[in-house]
Amino acid sequence: MSEHSEGGTTDTVVGDGGTTIGPASPPVPPPSDDSGLSRRTWTLVLSFLVVIGLGLAGGFARVPYVALGPGPTYDTLGQVDGANVVSIEGQDTFPTGGHLTMTTVSLIDELSLFGALGLWVSGRYALAPREEFFKPGVSKDEVRDQNTKAFQDSQTSAEVAALRYLGYPVKVLAAEITKGSAADAVLQPNDRLRVVNGKQITVADDVKAALETTKPGDEIEITYDREGKQQTSRVPLGRTDGRETGFLGVLAVDRADAPFEIKIGVPEVGGPSAGLLFALSIVDKLTPGELNGGQSIAGTGEINENGEVGPIGGIPFKMIAAKEGGATTFLVPADNCVEAKQQAPEGLRLVRVETLTGAVQSIEAIIAGKDAPGC
* Alpha helices, DSSP H, located in the chain: 39-60, 113-122, 140-165, 205-210, 275-285, 315-324, 337-343, 356-367
Q: Give the torsion sign (CA, 201, 205, 210, 211).
A: positive
Which one is catalytic: 157, 273, 281, 362? 273
Identify any residues that bridge with 173 across adjacent strands, giving them in sequence order. 192, 253
Mark 301-324 as b/e (b = at least 16 C-beta within 10 Å): bbbbbebbbbbbbbbbbbbbbbbe
Q: Give the span between the Cα atoms of 177 and 69, in whole angstroms.
A: 40
Q: Phi and psi at residue 166, in whole multiples of 5°?
A: -85, 0
Question: Mapping DSSP to helix (H, G, I), strand (E, B) and coil, where does residue 83 land?
Answer: strand
Closest CA to 187 of 266, 256, 110, 251: 251
Using DSSP's 3-state secondary structure scheme, residue 42 falls into helix
Question: CA-to-CA distance for 304 and 84, rounded, in angstroms?
Answer: 23
Amino acid at 154: S
Start-to-end CA span in the chain (Å):
81
Out of 171, 281, 285, 318, pick the active-site residue.
318
Interior angle at CA 83, CA 82 and CA 86, nearest 5: 145
Pairing of strands 20-23, 349-353: unpaired
CA dihedral 337, 342, 343, 347 (to 10 degrees): 80
Question: Quick check: is 273 catalytic?
Answer: yes
Among candidates 213, 219, 212, 210, which has minimal Cα distance to 238? Answer: 219
Phi, psi (degrees; rounded to nearest 5) at 240 = -145, 150
Active site residues: 273, 318
